[in-house]
């Protein structure tokens, strides 16, 4: 950055927010800004041996690229794609589309600033770097800069471990507590885990991408091991003895042949402690090998269970501050409709009600939610909107995505396809909603120009930055606190609710609680991206796959590459123009890619006259994936069962890998042809994610992923037309309930010899294709879309 | 329309003067600061807001405050004894039967309601009530274990 904004206008020393630099974003405040961290649609190494263009294995330049929503009819404006090469190490993409709220400068003053030439000398590549750096901060975090930033030892014996990760039900609080307890040599109950308060904890990156287990657990272990070594060294110095003469048990260093002992409290009280804890955590500290684990690797339940079952725990929507008001936001009648006029007087006339308009932002705050609702209803009647621009509906979604694909999809093996036994299929995967049971919620409180927000987000430091940007204040004036909240599934990476609450609180001069309604969550949160997948393959005379061509349009590159050993394959991701605001989801695009690939594999097996299990094994060299597939098939008695399949009871299997873990599922389904219903009766799933950190929590994540996968396989689909969501309620968008839960037979394949991979996402990717394959077997009809319909 | 509504809340008399159209859920949470009862959908579809009114499981989001005049209302805050958790709560803790936990209080209230009505309730009775609830984390298998633990210990008591 070589241009600094005028200080009086820009208290933020960073002065580099893209929302200020891009007039389009400011003008279209209901729009969104996207950071896309990896763009790795590419060929496999093998594929590149062929005459494939080499660009596919290299990353595109970091220049920002406008894409998506640019069509006349699309409701979303400018997007920025920022690329991150390092994220590709784990083949992972996070999609973040932020809303473009900008409250610091009015549109007029913004234009004035631009006109004064203060900002326009910033070059576009500089912007891209800026945006890439932010992406990295969000995703990977900076970690603890000192031991004291990770672990606080109290003179009273308390042990507080700090992490920027969040707890949304996935078990981070438990596993990080175990990680610290293991290395500190204390019982897990001794650990107080302080999560996600940006004023107190290190930035461990977003809680996303299954990264807590492989990245944050080791980081916490490293800090805890360093603290343990400090205690041991402290004792050795005090007693002028050698390491061989001491041992550490239960948080206490004792002399093996003596009676003296020292604890973490003693270390905390020592004069050297402040200096020792100000140092960086050494990278060479020895971690306990998995074979010696006593706390990690064992089943531990959530530490705050009692507060959950008594209702004492305060979720973000439960936070109450003195003098707090309750907010409501005016939403446009359709995506892309713009507010042209509104009269706030009817709301302002109501007792205790505050009404705020800031360009397209309109909201009210009142002493209770009903009063806020009445006030909003009163002013909504006076609102004038432009008509929503023409935009595609869910009925034409897949044609629209295909027509707007940004690159050609020619099959490089077309010549061979023409003369061989070949199949070509197109698979459609709809938008779905995460629908966490706690909708977005935030409480915002200003103290002068300092802002504190309590909210449910997977991205505490990213939320802090989003708030700082929206209000043009420095990040160190914003504190974001994330209480353990009511689930996310990749759906809470952004801070729009927090920004809205903060704008209302600013207008009201009082703290404001804003809780989105279910309808708002279904409409104004982002969606799992929809996908069209084009698959084409040819078989050689022996019935093996000779060529494989597989393209994901729109939803992303996660698991787009085939894990099967196919010499000649070409797999890639092609962007399109998403008509809805989309973002991350549990396993994101691998839900679509693995569905299409595994369904296609069964169709190819049928053409080859081969059993689906044999057909897969014949193409599978990856030992870890083979192991889970064989495990699931054996446990399910696949070879015996498959002979019993008929039109009403059938069986299917599928497998896959993503984010370093491996899954295979066998399912039994019951089909009622007259009612046109599919019931999943039994799921046998094998899963491997390296060394298991907590088998109880792992099973729970697998169970949850299976249930969520069943919902997406059988029912979930966002319907929309004319810029409106048509099924924005649990009454119209059915998610799995008790009677949808099948018998579950889960097999953990523990590999203590391997590093732990995350496990909250991958267990979802085999379930939809396994169900589809069971339906295909029963009906003979190819399944070409989700949700599966008879 | 302002009204004075008197009811028994978790065993103690309670009077609120407020707009009679407001939901029980909102009054519990915003006026009485009993935030254990959760909002999930506002249309009775998820039952995170379940409370007992006159011994019946009801979605408090669809119940007007005026509807509870003269009634007994039990919320999650009134379920545990002074010294120990309710057996249903104990079972949910023992099984670790929740992920995010946002639906859990509603599930617990649903099961408490079934058992209050019929201490000898069967698993089918319990599940027909819990079928109304949504757990988006998909913890149903664990919830079922907790339900069975409660019902089995009930059998043992009998």
pLDDT greater than 80 at residue A557 = yes
H/E element, A397:
helix A397-403
In chain A, whose CA is at the least distance from the CA of B142?
A: A700
Residues of chain B in contact with residue A517, where contact means CB-CB under 8 angstroms, are 42
pLDDT at A4: 37
pLDDT tens string A586-637: 999 999 999 999 999 999 999 999 999 999 999 999 999 999 999 999 999 9
Residues of chain B in contact with residue A369, where contact means CB-CB under 8 angstroms, are 26, 30
pLDDT tens string A675-725: 999 999 999 999 999 999 999 999 999 999 999 999 999 999 999 999 999
Alpha carbon of A704: minimum distance to chain B alpha carbons (Å): 4
Contact in structure between A526 and A494 (CB atoms under 8 Å):
yes
For the full predicted model, state whether its pTM sits above 0.90.
Answer: no
Rounded Cα distance, B134 and B103, in Å: 7
Least confident of A127-131, A514-518, B140-144: A127-131
- Contact yes or no for B139 and A700 at CB 8 A: yes
Residues of chain A in contact with residue B37, where contact means CB-CB under 8 angstroms, are 311
Q: Which residue has the higher pLDDT, A736 or B82?
A: A736
Least confident of A40-49, A369-378, A613-622, B3-12: A40-49
Best mutation target, B37, B64, B108, B137, to test chain A (most A CBs within 10 A)? B137
A652/B contact by beta carbon, under 8 A? no
Q: Which of A368, A706, A737 sits opposite B30 (nearest CB)?
A: A368
Categorise residue A187: left if φ over 0, alpha if ψ from -120 to 50, beta otherwise: beta
pLDDT at A102: 81
| Best CA proximity match to A695, nearest among A322, A108, A318, A178 | A178
pLDDT at A17: 31
Best mutation target, A324, A372, A437, A438, to test chain B (most B CBs within 10 A)? A437
Backbone angles phi and psi of A512, in degrees to 5:
-130, 135
pLDDT greater than 60 at residue A156 = yes
| Residues in contact with A237: Cβ distance below 8 Å, sequence separation at least 6, in sequence order | none
Q: In the beta sheet, which residues pair with residue A720?
A: A725
pLDDT greater than 80 at residue A223 = yes
- Contact yes or no for A729 and B41 at CB 8 A: yes
Residues of chain A in contact with residue B141, where contact means CB-CB under 8 angstroms, are 703, 741, 744
Quick one: what percent of chain A has pLDDT higher than 70? 84
Residues of chain A in contact with residue B135, where contact means CB-CB under 8 angstroms, are 437
User: How far is C-alpha B44 from the geometric centre of its chain's CA atoms?
Assistant: 13
A472/B contact by beta carbon, under 8 A? no
Q: Which of A311, A369, A436 sits opposite B136 (nearest CB)?
A: A436
In chain A, whose CA is at the least distance from the CA of B87?
A: A309
- Contact yes or no for B141 and A738 at CB 8 A: no
In chain B, whose CA is at the least distance from the CA of A373?
A: B22
| Best CA proximity match to A774, nearest among A761, A756, A788, A753 | A788
- Contact yes or no for A311 and B37 at CB 8 A: yes
Residues of chain A in contact with residue B28, where contact means CB-CB under 8 angstroms, are none
Rounded Cα distance, B111 and A697, in Å: 24
Q: Which of B48, B75, B99 sits opposite A169 (nearest CB)?
A: B99
Residues of chain B in contact with residue A484, where contact means CB-CB under 8 angstroms, are 100-101
Categorise residue A25: left if φ over 0, alpha if ψ from -120 to 50, beta otherwise: alpha
Q: How confident is the model at residue A138 (pLDDT cuts 50, 70, 90)?
A: low
Q: Which residue has the higher pLDDT, A148 or A134?
A: A148
């Amino acid at each position: 950055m070589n241009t600094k904004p005028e200080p009086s206008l820009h208290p933020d020393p960073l002065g580099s927010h893209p929302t200020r630099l891009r007039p389009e974003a400011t003008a279209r405040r209901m729009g969104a800004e996207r950071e896309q961290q990896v763009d790795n649609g590419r060929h496999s190494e093998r594929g590149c041996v062929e005459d494939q263009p080499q660009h596919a294995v290299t990353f595109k330049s970091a220049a920002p690229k406008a894409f998506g929503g640019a069509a006349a009819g699309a409701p979303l404006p400018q997007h920025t794609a920022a690329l991150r090469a390092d994220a590709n190490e784990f083949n992972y993409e996070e999609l973040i589309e932020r809303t473009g709220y900008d409250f610091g400068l009015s549109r007029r003053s913004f234009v004035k600033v631009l006109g004064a030439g203060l900002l326009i000398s910033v070059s576009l590549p500089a912007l891209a770097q800026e945006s890439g750096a932010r992406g990295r901060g969000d995703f990977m975090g900076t970690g603890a800069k000192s031991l004291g930033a990770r672990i606080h030892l109290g003179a009273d014996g308390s042990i507080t471990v700090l992490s920027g990760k969040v707890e949304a039900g996935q078990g981070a609080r438990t596993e990080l507590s175990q990680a610290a307890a293991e290395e500190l040599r204390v019982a897990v109950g001794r650990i107080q885990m302080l999560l996600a308060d940006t004023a107190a904890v290190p930035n461990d990156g977003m809680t996303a991408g299954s990264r807590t287990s492989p990245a944050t657990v080791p980081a916490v272990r490293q800090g805890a091991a360093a603290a343990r070594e400090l205690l041991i060294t402290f004792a050795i110095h005090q007693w002028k003895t050698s390491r061989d003469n001491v041992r550490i048990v239960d948080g206490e260093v004792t002399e093996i042949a003596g009676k003296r002992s020292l604890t973490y409290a003693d270390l905390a009280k020592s004069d050297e402690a402040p200096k020792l804890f100000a140092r960086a955590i050494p990278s060479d500290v020895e971690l306990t090998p998995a074979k010696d684990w006593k706390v990690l690797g064992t089943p531990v339940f959530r530490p705050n269970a009692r507060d959950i079952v008594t209702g004492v725990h305060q979720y973000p929507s439960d936070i109450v501050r003195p003098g707090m008001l309750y907010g409501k936001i005016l939403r446009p009648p359709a995506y892309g409709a713009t507010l042209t006029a509104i009269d706030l007087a009817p709301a302002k006339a109501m007792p205790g009600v505050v009404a705020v308009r800031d360009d397209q932002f309109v909201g009210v705050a009142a002493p209770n939610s009903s009063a806020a609702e009445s006030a909003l209803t009163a002013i909504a009647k006076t609102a004038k909107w432009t008509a929503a621009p023409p935009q595609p509906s869910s009925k034409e979604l897949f044609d629209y995505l295909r027509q707007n694909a940004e690159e050609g999809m020619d099959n490089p093996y077309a010549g061979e396809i023409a003369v061989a036994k070949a199949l070509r299929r197109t698979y459609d995967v709809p938008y779905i909603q995460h629908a966490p049971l706690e909708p977005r919620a935030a409480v915002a409180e200003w103290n002068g120009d300092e802002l504190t927000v309590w909210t449910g987000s997977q991205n505490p430091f990213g939320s802090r930055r989003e708030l700082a940007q929206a209000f043009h204040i420095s990040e160190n004036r914003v504190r974001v606190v994330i209480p353990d909240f009511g689930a996310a599934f990749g759906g809470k990476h952004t801070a729009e609710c927090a920004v809205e609450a903060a704008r209302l609180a600013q207008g009201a001069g009082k703290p404001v609680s804003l809780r989105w309604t279910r309808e708002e969550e279904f409409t104004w949160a982002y969606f799992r991206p929809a996908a069209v997948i084009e698959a084409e393959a040819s078989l050689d005379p022996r019935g093996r796959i000779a060529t494989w061509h597989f393209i994901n349009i729109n939803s992303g590159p996660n698991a787009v590459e085939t894990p099967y050993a196919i010499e000649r394959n070409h797999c890639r991701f092609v962007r399109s123009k998403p008509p809805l605001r989309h973002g991350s989801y549990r396993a994101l695009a691998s839900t679509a890619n693995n569905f299409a690939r595994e369904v296609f594999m069964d169709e190819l097996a049928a053409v080859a006259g081969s059993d689906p299990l044999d057909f897969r094994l014949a193409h599978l060299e990856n030992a870890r994936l083979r192991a889970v597939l064989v495990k699931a098939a054996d446990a399910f008695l696949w070879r015996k069962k498959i002979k019993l399949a008929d039109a009403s009871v059938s069986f299917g299997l599928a497998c896959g890998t993503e984010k370093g873990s491996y899954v295979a599922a066998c399912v039994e389904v019951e089909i009622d042809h007259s009612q046109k219903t599919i019931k999943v009766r039994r799921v046998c799933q094998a899963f491997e994610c390296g060394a298991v950190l907590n088998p109880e929590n792992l099973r729970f994540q697998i169970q949850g992923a299976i249930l969520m996968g069943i919902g997406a396989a059988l029912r979930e689909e966002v319907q929309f037309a004319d810029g409106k969501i048509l099924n924005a309620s649990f009454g119209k968008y059915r998610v799995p309930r008790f009677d949808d839960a099948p018998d579950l037979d889960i097999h953990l394949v523990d590999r203590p010899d391997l590093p732990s991979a995350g496990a909250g996402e991958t267990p979802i990717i085999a379930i939809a294709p396994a169900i589809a394959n069971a339906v295909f077997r029963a009906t003979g009809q190819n399944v070409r879309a989700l949700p599966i319909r008879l | 329309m302002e009204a004075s509504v008197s009811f028994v809340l978790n065993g103690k008399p309670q009077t609120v003067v407020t707009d009679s159209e407001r939901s029980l859920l909102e009054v519990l949470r915003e006026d009485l600061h009993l935030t254990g009862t959760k909002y999930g959908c506002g249309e009775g579809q998820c039952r995170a807001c379940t409370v007992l009114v006159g011994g019946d499981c009801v979605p408090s989001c669809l119940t007007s405050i005026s509807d509870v005049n003269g009634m007994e209302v039990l919320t999650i805050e009134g379920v545990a004894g002074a010294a120990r958790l309710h057996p249903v709560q104990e079972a949910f803790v023992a099984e670790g039967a929740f992920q995010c936990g946002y639906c859990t209080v509603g599930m617990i209230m649903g099961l408490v309601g079934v058992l209050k009505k019929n201490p000898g309730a069967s698993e089918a009775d319990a599940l027909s009530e819990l079928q109304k609830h949504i757990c988006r984390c998909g913890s149903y298998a664990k919830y079922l274990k907790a339900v069975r633990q409660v019902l089995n210990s009930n059998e043992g008591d009998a």
